[in-house]
Structure 1
Amino acid sequence: MILTYVVAVEAAIAGLLTLPSPKLLKYRLVSLISLLLQPALFIVPFAGFQLLDIYWKNEHRLMCTGETCTAAERDRYEKSIYKAQRNVILCVSACLLYWCVYRICKYYKEIQSLEEVEKRYKDQ
């Protein structure tokens, strides 16, 4: 559940950063998000731990194949497989979106520093 919210927030932030907006607003937004990125780094080890947990559960899951399984057991088994697949996608998405937001912020900071250098050269 946590990963779902994190992925949604990261996607919203990435969308917000890529929308066209005035420079002053964009740079203030980038600086605010850059301040939030460092504490939000916890999502990477959390997603890694979740992936390890999913792998462990997958390796030690009781198989429900054959005629001995009831319909309810088979449904529960399939539901757990689908849930594990969804969680893997969420973990990978959380890490990928965090990296994208980080790179977008770094890109805008580099642009800002290059614009400041250009402005100094023009003033000289």
Structure 2
Amino acid sequence: MALQWMILTYVVAAEAAVALLLTLPAPKLLKNRLVSLISLILQPALFVVPFAGFQLLDIYWKMEHRLMCTSDICTAAERDRYEKSMYKAQKNVILCSAACLLYWCIYRICKYCKDIERLEEVEKRFKEE
């Protein structure tokens, strides 16, 4: 199970790096090439959305079927273990949400850059006429 979270962590880190790379100022030619390259990668990278959704469902199912340790019968070690698992689940929910949100942000940034490029071409054609 830890391998899935490690993979998702690396995917989120890569998405954050790509989003940062797309938002940094760059020469127009470099920016257009970078946007076109990332646009090609976006479709195969869509796997992250159902993967993160499945992980969220798994977290939800485990939360619904987890033994509660809130009474006085629990020992301190059991209570610590319960709280640790709760914190870990919350961290994983944030990780899944970040994966989906970053993917969407990268998609929108690429779409906006392509729209701007297309509008600049239209403007250039109108100025030539």
Q: Which TM-score band applies after superposition, normalised by the shorter structure? A: over 0.9
Deviation at 1:8, TM superposition (A): 1.1
Cα deviation code 1:14-41 (max 9, x no counterpart): 1110110000000000000001100110
| Deviation, structure 1 residue 117 | 1.1
Shift of 1:67: 2.3
In the alignment, structure 1 residue 40 sits paired with structure 2 residue 45: yes
1:10-89 maps to which residues of 2 (within 5 A)? 10-89=15-94
In structure 1, the residue matched to 2:7 is 2
Question: How far, CA to CA, are the matches of 1:66 and 1:114 in structure 2?
Answer: 64
Deviant stretches of 4+, over 6 Å: none
Question: Which amino acid in the other structure matches residue 42 of structure 1?
Answer: F
| TM-align CA RMSD | 0.9
Residue-pair matches, total: 124
1:96 equivalent in structure 2: 101
Please state how far the C-alpha of 1:123 moved relative to its aligned partner: 2.1
Cα distance in 1 between the residues matched to 2:10 and 2:104: 17
List alignment gaps of at least 5 residues for structure 1: none
AA of the residue aligned to 1:90: L
Equivalent AA in structure 2 for residue 40 of structure 1: A
- The percent of aligned pairs where both chains have the same amino acid is 81
C-alpha displacement of 1:69:
1.5
Partner of 1:117, secondary structure, is helix
CA displacement at 1:116 relative to structure 2: 1.0
Gaps of 5+ in 2: 1-5
Distance in 2, matches of 1:80 and 1:5, equals 21
